[in-house]
Structure formats: structure tokens, C-alpha cells
Amino acid sequence: MARSVCGWLAGISLAGCLAAPVLYIIGYVEAGTYRNILAVMSLSWFVFASAWAGRSSGQT
Amino acid sequence: MPSRLSLLTSRMDALYEYDREPVAPQQLKTGWQFASLFAGEHVAGTEFVIGAFFVLHGVNATDLIAGLLAGNLLAVLSWTFICAPIAVDTRLTLYWYLRRIAGPGLTAIYNVANAVLYCILAGAMIAVSATAIGLPLGVRTPALTDVYPSSFGWVLLTFATGAAFVTLAILGFEGLSRFARVCAPWVLVIFVVGAIAMLPRLGVHANLDNLWETSRTKIWNGVASPGQDKFSIWHVVFFAWFCNLAMHVGLSDMALFRYAKHRAYGLYSAFGMYPGHTLAWLCSGIMVAGVDRQMDPGMMAAEAAGAAGPVAVVLAGWTTANPTLYRAGLALQCVTPNWPRWRATVVAGLVTTLLSCFPVIVMRLLDYVAIYGLVLMPVGAIVVAEHWLFPLLGIPRHMTGATGRMINGRAALVWAGTLAVCSVLPLHLFFRWLPGYILALVSYTLLHLRWRRE
């Protein structure tokens, strides 16, 4: 996967982490769902951010 | 004795040989690199504890926000106007510059003091991580007033956590440093996420219309928890300022800023201070208020962010304990004959792990941070006097280095004297460093003026 794609997906994952508690406090999701979304988005961040950091900056 | 000291200092020089020469112009780093370095370094596991302690010490909301903004500004200015200019002028680490000023003997003593202080700091990080690891195992976190280990389970847990951290520090320092860079933004996000998720529990409405009212009455309500001192705005200002005293006023960040293109690069420290030492501290304050002020970082993060919370506590502690253990090992290696790096790191790790069993290092973390800065601060004052005041007063600089003496007796006297005076000053621990710094600056200069007249 290209480095820039990994970077974008990592950014989206981090934004997803931030969105999860907002959905919870406005009552859109329950506490359990919020925690699951956060866990999945966190895992996704580590996968894509590690891939982004691991690829050389020469790749696009 | 002098031959032993010479042997020790020559070993130390060999360890730091790679950065003996001033940084060359082509090695200078960009502002963006400084910003990301500071942003990554200042979101540690201990932030979960520090922000929470401001709630327990009864700081009110207005004082906390104003105090953090002002104190962190003073810290950024200290990097910009004290540390970065000296680093850019000399392009040297504190180690090599101090060697010229204070002599190799005193530099060795400084190194050992630094190693011990690093071990205690890493021990606090291990203990914070242990509170999260112990959560699923049912190990009780010690109480706020505990000094000694409260249970056998806690001792086992801190030893296991410490052993894991030390092993990983030996096996892959470089790899873990890269992993730490991946962790840092996520850990900061977990602070924010945890705080947002705690708001409904504190009674904040979905439209946030009562957020400020709740902050003033239920989070930072100005009431100290039983057994905790009441803190004012000045405690917050001074704490935020001296939290990294050894790095800015104490000049150990000369190691970073010698790569800066300009002295104004000290301003990039704001990228560490405002997200890490303002936002993260505010967030951990909200989280501890949401769990009825129970000082248990692992439990607090789990309540706020589910499984991701304790993982963030462990990773924040681990990734910041790793470079701390590495530095402690490096400092220790200079006094241990022919030891490889791994063995020095194991010994530093054993000391650190042993210390992490004692809850007092976490439960009195704010006091420890104050002592850490206080012990190393006079060295920064001595360097500032020699770098800036001596030329103004016509006093020759770097005489210890030029004459080849092992120890600058005046520097040793000022360091010890300042600490002795600070230990008896009738002020709160947080406020002692500033008069101590002025005392060290003035007394070191006066001693040299008198010597010059004689």
C-alpha cells in the first residue's frame, strides 16, 4: 500500500477515535458501542500509522 | 583518588565521544523536526497523575487554566531565552560545555546525580503503567498516603512490569523509539477522548451549556481532598514552569538545541507544553473527577475509554520510560569499568524497578519533580554566569578547562551551598528553585570577581 494512502487512513482512524466520544455524549451511541468504536479505530491507527512510519519517505 | 577520577572521566569522554565536536551547519534540523520532537516527548504516562493531582489539591478552574497558560509560557521562554541561545552559540551538549566550565570531575558527579534522578523518574512511569496492567489481574493500587508497598501483589506486578520494560529497552531501543513516535499522537487523543466521555457522568449536557459551571463546581472546585495541601494559582504557575526545569533552565536540552538553526527555535517547545502539559493535564483532571477523585490511573483510563484507556496508560509509561532508562544506563556506564551498555541498563533498570515498588514516588510525584529540577538547577546557573555574565564583567571564561583542573572548586561550592540554602528556605518546595537560581548565579559570579581582584 502506498505511503500516502497509509497516512490518510491513519489520519481518518485518529479522527474516528475523536468522533467516538462525541457520538456518545450526544446520545447517538451507547457507552459500550463508543468503547468498541474507540478500540477498533485505535487498532486501525496503529496498523496504518506503523505502515506509514515504516515506509521510506521516498515512496508516495 | 585523583587517578581513579581521571580514569572515570576518560571513560566518560569515550562514551560521549561521538558528540564532542560542535554540530556542523549541514547537520542542523528544521523547525518541524523540533515541533514533532517536543510534541512526542511531553505526553508521558505521568501526565495521567499530574493533572489529576491538581484536582486533589483543590485548585479552582480559573486558577488552573490561567496558571497553566502562564507557567507553560514561562517554560517556553526559558527554553527560548536561556537554553537555545547557549546551545546555538556553542553547538555543544551540556556535558562538553560543563566539562570546560566545571571540570571533568564535577561533570562526572553531575552525571551520576542525573542517573539516579532518571531512575526515580522511570520508576514512577513503571508504577503508573503497573496500575493499568494490574487492573485485569485484580491487583489493588496503593492508596494516596502509602509510602511502602501495600501488598505482595503490587511488588510482583511492578517487578514484572519493570522487567518487561528493561528487557525491551535492551533489546530494541531504536525500534521502540520509532514505535514511541507512532504512539504519541494516539496517547494525546486518548486523553481528550477520555475527558469528553467523562462529561456526561459529571452532569455536563450534550450541548455543553453547563460545561464551565460543572468545571467550577464538580471538577476544579477549589476543595482539596483530605490529606492534600491546598494549591493556589502560584503553585500551578511554578509547577508548570519547573516541571522541565532540568531541561530548560538546567540546560540539558542543549543536546537538542545545538541542532537548531536559530535561537528562536526554543519557541517550538510550545508544541510540547500546550498539548502535553496543558491539554493532557486538564483532561486527566476531568477523568479523575469522573471517578470520585480516586488516584488510580489505570482504573481512571478504563472507566473513561474502555480497553483503549489502560493500553494508553501502559504505552505512555513504557515509551517514555524507555529513553529515560537508556539515559540512566548511559550515565551509569561512565562509572562502571568495561561494562557493556546492556549491563549498565540492567543495573539502572533493577534500581528503577526496585524504586517503582514504592508508591511514594507516584503519590508524591509533584514533590519529586520539584526536587529533580532543584538538584540540577544550580548547574544551569553556573553555566549561564560563565557564558553571559563573565564576558560583561571582564572575567576570563572556561579557566578550569584551560588550566586542566579536574574540579572547579567554586562551582562545587556554589552547587552544594545553593542546595543547602534551598533545603532550609521557609518557602513551599515549589517556590524554592527561583531564589536558589538567583543565589547560585550571583554567588558564582561574586566568587570569581573576588578571585580576580586577589
In a domain, A1, yes or no: no
Q: How many domains does chain A have?
A: 1
pLDDT tens digits along B338-377: 777 788 888 888 999 999 999 898 889 999 999 999 999 9
In a domain, A4, yes or no: no
As a whole-number percent, the residues of chain B with pLDDT over 70 amount to: 93
In B, which residues are within 8 Å of A31 by CB distance? 197
Going by pLDDT thresholds of 50, 70 and 90, the confidence category of residue A60 is very low
Amino acid B277: pLDDT:
95
pLDDT tens digits along A12-53: 999 999 999 999 999 999 999 999 999 999 999 999 999 998
In this structure, are residues B329 and B344 in contact, taking their beta carbons and an 8 Å threshold?
yes
Going by pLDDT thresholds of 50, 70 and 90, the confidence category of residue B255 is confident
Global pTM? 0.91
Going by pLDDT thresholds of 50, 70 and 90, the confidence category of residue B11 is low
The Cα–Cα gap between B241 and B248 comes to: 10
Question: Domain B2-17+31-367 adopts which CATH fold?
Answer: Hydantoin permease (1.10.4160)
Amino acid B173: pLDDT:
62
Going by pLDDT thresholds of 50, 70 and 90, the confidence category of residue A59 is very low
Amino acid B225: pLDDT:
94
pLDDT tens digits along B176-190: 777 778 898 999 999
Amino acid B454: pLDDT:
72
pLDDT tens digits along B35-45: 988 888 888 88
Q: Inform me whether the pLDDT recorded for A56 exceeds 70.
A: no
- Chain B closest-CA separation from residue A15 CA (Å): 9
Rounded to the nearest integer, the mean pLDDT of chain B is 90
| Domain range enclosing A40 | 14-54
- If you average pLDDT over residues B16-27, what whole number do you get? 70
Contacts of B290 (CB under 8 A, 6+ apart): B198, B201, B202, B300, B303, B304
Q: Inform me whether the pLDDT recorded for B174 exceeds 70.
A: no
In a domain, A5, yes or no: no
In a domain, A43, yes or no: yes
- Chain A closest-CA separation from residue B359 CA (Å): 30
DSSP three-state, residue B358: coil
Going by pLDDT thresholds of 50, 70 and 90, the confidence category of residue B332 is confident
Task: Decide if A48 touches B, using CB distance below 8 A.
Answer: no
Residue type, B147: V
- Parse chain B into domains and list their residue ranges: 2-17+31-367
In this structure, are residues B118 and B328 in contact, taking their beta carbons and an 8 Å threshold?
yes
Concatenated DSSP letters for B87-110? HHHH---HHHHHHHHHHHHHHHHH
Amino acid B169: pLDDT:
79
Q: Which of B178, B183, B186, B279 to mutate to test the interface with A (most CBs of A within 10 A)?
A: B186
Amino acid B257: pLDDT:
93
Task: Decide if A4 touches B, using CB distance below 8 A.
Answer: no
Helix ranges (H only) for B199-251 are 211-214, 233-242
pLDDT tens digits along B59-118: 999 999 999 999 999 999 999 999 999 999 999 888 889 989 999 899 889 988 988 898
Q: Which residue of B has its CA nearest to A20?
A: B193
In a domain, A46, yes or no: yes
Task: Decide if A35 touches B, using CB distance below 8 A.
Answer: yes
Task: Decide if A18 touches B, using CB distance below 8 A.
Answer: yes
Q: Which of B189, B191, B279 to mutate to test the interface with A (most CBs of A within 10 A)?
A: B189
CB contact under 8 A, A24 and B197: yes
